């Protein structure tokens, strides 16, 4: 019996976000002939996403708690402008189940998974339980929130362990504990950070995999049970659990392992009855064994890397799924590796002074260009970067037929990318490209920290 397909095209979409990702969504909406509504705080009045949208509406003061995190203000803006749907972008409320519920209750479509799926997969301990049921490998851990007997639980897992906030993200509420003598202090620290950032101090334990790679698989799932998984992204180059460089395919993952990763990601997504796009994240040991970490129930910052490799517009795919359309590609098409791609996150930060944020006015803005080059940014010459938000100012995405050519092209692009008026992380990205371990593909999540320690020792 065939599944009945009901498609409800959108006429107008509000983007509940700012800057680069808001502009990214607006561009796809324009190509789909769908009206766009930008929202902005008082600090973002001159942002490029405000200029590019068909309509724009101010939603509050500069602090994100009074604007981009204000559910009532966002829903009201969507209703006032007559939007059919709301795209959450990434960050802010993109993984907030209450926001998804509020949008749906107001009679609009939330372009993303259901609130139930966000709740199920957003709580990491619950997501692990779903992974176990689906037969997806997980790191040994507490299999749920730890209580007063946490010493006993930790001994059973075996040190070293990682303490993780149940509602964590962005490296907040995470602490590595190498030996039991440090457990009480690490628990107190992780719980305090979790409480401060998420209003919830519950934590769970995982076995700490030494020298791992951070590998993630982009997925897409429609309303009719169809799921596809794309080629993996290697996101191992991180500083304090924040990604700096992402590439696809991973120089470490072979074809057999890639198929296993894709199969595991698809099984998990099907078990969760997920719809929309999302990312399943894994830790990979030096043996190529991999373990489920978490699901990001939204578009990732690094989604252009996958777009380059698979040749698909993931934002368009999000919108089509939300409109009720079935996926237009199968697993063989989704999983095909068309090229090699890398993304350099360029932040307004001073990498020579512990990556201190550097808001200010851009006096020069000459982005890199040429064959195989894409720059996603909301910057322009004369724009003043506000101090209230994330320091990401551009994503440099480079593609090439093979990794050797990719690194050559990336070096050329970073060299010609001129940004004046503020300090940026471009010099640090140039150092990464020159690093012998990175060039050889011998990376893990500790490489950046080792580079920085080497800097300290040479001072």
Within 13 Å, how many C-alpha atoms sit on residue 28's CB side?
23
* pLDDT score for 171: 77
> How much is the mean pLDDT over the chain?
95
The token pair that represents 155 in the structure block = 């001994």
* pLDDT score for 2: 52
Q: Can you list the positions of beta strands (E) in 16-160? A: 35-41, 55-60, 85-87, 109-110
Number of neighbouring beta carbons within 10 Å of residue 135: 11
Residue 349 gets which letter from DSSP?
Answer: E
For 275-324, write each residue's pLDDT tens digit: 999 999 999 999 999 999 999 999 999 999 999 999 999 999 999 999 99
Enter the pTM of the model: 0.89
- Nearest 5°: the CA angle 187, 188, 190 is 65
- Check: CB of residue 247 under 8 Å from CB of residue 233: yes
| Cα 390 to chain centroid, rounded | 13
Closest CA to 346 of 453, 427, 409, 420: 427
* pLDDT score for 459: 62
For 243-258, write each residue's pLDDT tens digit: 999 999 999 999 999 9
Q: Which residues is 203 bridged to in the sheet?
A: 165
Closest CA to 207 of 133, 135, 155, 273: 155
Stretch (H or E) spanning 243: strand 242-248
For 87-108, write each residue's pLDDT tens digit: 999 999 999 999 999 999 999 9
Dihedral, 356, 359, 363, 369 alpha carbons, nearest 10: 70
Whether residue 50 is predicted with pLDDT greater than 60 in this model: the reply is: yes
* pLDDT score for 141: 87
Q: What 3-state DSSP class applies to 249?
A: coil
Whether residue 410 is predicted with pLDDT greater than 80 in this model: the reply is: yes
Give me the mean pLDDT over the 211-220 stretch. Answer: 96
Q: Which CATH architecture has domain 140-207?
A: 2-Layer Sandwich (3.30)
Confidence of residue 240 (pLDDT cuts 50, 70, 90): confident
The token pair that represents 146 in the structure block = 């730890």
Please state which CATH number belongs to domain 12-111.
Answer: 3.40.50.20
Among the options 24, 298, 345, 409, which is catalytic? 298
Domain ranges of the chain: 12-111, 140-207, 213-458
For 356-374, write each residue's pLDDT tens digit: 999 999 999 999 999 999 9
Task: Please check whether the two domains, 12-111 and 140-207, share a CATH topology.
Answer: no
Q: Please give the CATH topology (third level) of the domain spanning 213-458.
A: D-amino Acid Aminotransferase; Chain A, domain 1 (3.30.470)
Q: What phi-psi label fits residue 110: left (phi over 0), alpha (psi between -120 and 50 degrees) or beta?
A: beta
Which residues lie closer than 8 Å to 132 by C-beta, 6 or more apart? 138, 143
Whether residue 1 is predicted with pLDDT greater than 50 in this model: the reply is: no
For 160-170, write each residue's pLDDT tens digit: 999 999 887 76
Is 298 in the active site? yes
């Amino acid at each position: 019996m065939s599944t009945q397909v009901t498609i409800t095209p959108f006429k107008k979409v509000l983007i509940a976000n700012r800057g680069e990702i808001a502009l990214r969504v607006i561009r796809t909406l324009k190509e789909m002939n769908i009206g766009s509504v930008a929202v902005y705080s008082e600090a973002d009045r001159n942002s490029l996403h405000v200029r590019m949208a068909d309509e724009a509406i101010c939603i509050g003061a500069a602090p994100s708690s009074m604007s981009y995190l204000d559910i009532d203000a966002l829903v009201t803006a969507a209703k006032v402008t007559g939007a059919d749907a709301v795209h959450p972008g990434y960050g802010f409320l993109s993984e907030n189940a209450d926001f998804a519920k509020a949008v749906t209750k107001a009679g609009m479509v939330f372009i993303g998974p259901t609130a139930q799926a966000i709740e199920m997969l957003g709580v990491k301990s619950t997501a692990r339980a779903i992974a176990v049921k689906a037969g997806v490998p997980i790191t040994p851990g507490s299999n749920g929130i730890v209580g007063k007997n946490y010493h006993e639980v930790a001994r059973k897992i075996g040190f070293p362990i990682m303490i993780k906030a149940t509602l964590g993200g962005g490296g907040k509420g995470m602490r590595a504990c190498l030996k039991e003598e440090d457990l009480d202090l690490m628990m107190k620290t992780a719980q305090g950070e979790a409480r401060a950032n998420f209003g919830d101090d519950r934590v769970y334990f995982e076995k700490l995999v030494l020298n791992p790679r951070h590998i993630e698989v982009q997925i897409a799932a429609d309303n009719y049970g169809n799921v596809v998984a794309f080629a993996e992204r290697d996101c191992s180059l991180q500083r304090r659990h924040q990604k700096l460089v992402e590439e696809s395919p991973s120089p470490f993952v072979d074809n057999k392992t890639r198929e296993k990763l894709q199969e595991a990601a698809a099984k998990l997504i099907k078990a969760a009855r997920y719809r929309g796009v999302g990312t399943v994240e894994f830790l990979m040991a030096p043996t190529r064994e991999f373990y489920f970490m978490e699901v990001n129930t939204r578009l990732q910052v690094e989604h252009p890397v996958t777009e380059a490799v698979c040749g698909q517009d993931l934002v368009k795919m999000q919108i089509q799924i939300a409109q009720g359309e079935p996926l237009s590609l199968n697993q063989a098409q989704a999983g095909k590796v068309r090229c090699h791609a890398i993304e350099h996150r360029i932040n307004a930060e001073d990498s020579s002074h512990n990556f201190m944020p550097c808001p200010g006015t851009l006096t020069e803005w000459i982005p890199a260009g040429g064959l195989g080059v894409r720059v996603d940014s909301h910057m322009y010459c004369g724009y003043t970067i506000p101090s209230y938000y994330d320091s990401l100012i551009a994503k440099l995405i480079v593609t090439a037929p093979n990794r050797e050519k990719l690194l050559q092209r990336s070096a050329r692009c970073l060299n010609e990318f001129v940004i004046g008026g503020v300090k940026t992380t471009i010099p640090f990205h140039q150092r990464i490209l020159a690093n012998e371990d990175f060039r050889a593909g011998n990376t893990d999540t500790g490489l950046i920290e080792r580079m920085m320690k080497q800097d300290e020792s040479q001072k």
